[in-house]
Amino acid sequence: MKTSRKALILAALVAALLGASVSWAGDIKGKVNVQGLRSAENIAVYVDAIPGKTFEAPSQHITIDQRKMTFVPHVAVVLKGTTVDFLNSDPVGHNVYWPSVSGNKKLAHNMGTWPKGQSKPFQFNDLGVASLLCNVHPEMSGYVVVVATPYFGVTNKEGEFEIKNVPDGKYTLKTWSEDGKPATATVDVPGGSSSVELTVKK
């Protein structure tokens, strides 16, 4: 009798400890529908800032390449504080600059020119969208969307997206797209997958 009680208490303690150490997380999957836009591709979907929560910038850099006179990827979403390596894979001279970050011209920056095979880093410490341009190939364009949380994704050609490992909770989901107005949705992540649909209009 004493043994079974001890076992029960022990089991309860273990369960409590396990419960305390496991944080439940899920994925947010969804689809962005568009109205008046040419394509549902390359729309950034991200969890907006969570009150009272800050996130450390990742140590790992991400790369944006200049290849065949295009920025690859066309849209990159990064957590504030992330360093982006701009690589030149083309045998022609390129240049990367942005005239503002979300209209703030004080945050404009020009990274100059570098030859094929080399890259230059830049740490994005301000929330907003930087429109990447090349001053010698004006048709080139790309975007860096700097957000407050590490929970984000970019839609594919069908408008589908997936955001992994989002802790349980209720969040505000936002979109950014090149030609469309921002869209917002509330999403509840109860553990496991959540599904959401948004509509982006021109």
Partner 1 sequence: MTRQPSPIGSASLLATTLGTGFFLWLILGSVPRTPAIPAFARKYQTSCTTCHNNYPELNDFGEAFKKNGFKFPKDDETFVKEPPVMLGAKAQKEVFPKAVYPGEIPGGIPIGFRYSGVATYNSKQPLAIGYLPRTDLFVPNTFTIIAAGSLGERLSFWVDNDISAGGADAAAGLGDGYLRVNDIGHYVGLPKDLLNVRMGQFELDLPFTQARSIDLTSYDIYSQASIAGVLGTTNNPFMFGIPQRGIEIGGYSNKGNFEGFEWSAAVVDGSNNGVALRNSKDIYVRVSQRFNLERDSESRKEVQAAGPTGPRDHTSLRLGAFYYYGRNALFPSGTITLPSGTSPIADIHEPFYRFGGDFLFKYRQFELYGLGMYGHDENHMLVIQNGDTVTGFLPAAPVTFSGGFAQANYWIYPWMIAIMRYDLVNSPTDYQTGGAAGNGFSISDTRSRISPGIQFLIRANIKWAFEYQHRWQQPIPNSTELFRLNGFETGFDYSF
Return residues touching partner 1 (CB under 8 A): 68-69, 90-95, 97, 110, 112-115, 134-139
Q: Which of 55, 52, 53, 90 is nearest to 71 (CA)?
A: 90
Smaller CB separation from partner 1, 28 or 133: 133
CA pair distance 13, 19, nearest whole angstrom: 10
| Non-local CB neighbours of 9 within 8 Å, separated by 6+ positions | none
Q: Considering the complex, what minimum distance in angstroms separates the CB of residue 69 from partner 1?
A: 6
CB of 113 to partner 1, least distance (A): 4
Q: Where are the beta strands (DSSP E) in 21-112?
A: 25-35, 44-47, 62-67, 70-72, 75-79, 83-88, 97-98, 109-110
Distance from chain centroid for Cα 76: 7
Rounded Cα–Cα distance for residues 169 and 186 (Å): 11
Matching residue, tokens 């921002």? 182
Q: Which of 150, 198, 146 is nearest to 47 (CA)?
A: 150
Closest contact distance (angstroms) between CB of 89 and partner 1 is 10
Smallest distance from the beta carbon of 115 to partner 1, in angstroms? 7
As measured in angstroms, the least distance from the Cβ of 65 to partner 1 is 13
Beta carbon of residue 110, minimum distance to partner 1 (angstroms, whole number): 5
- Residue with smaller CB distance to partner 1, 25 or 111: 111
Select 19 or 91, whichever has its Cβ closest to partner 1: 91
Select 56 or 139, whichever has its Cβ closest to partner 1.
139
- Measured from the CB atom, the residue of 5 and 38 that comes closer to partner 1 is 38
Q: Which amino acid is at 194?
A: S
Question: What letter does residue 107 receive in the DSSP assignment?
Answer: G
Closest to partner 1 by CB, 118 or 165: 118
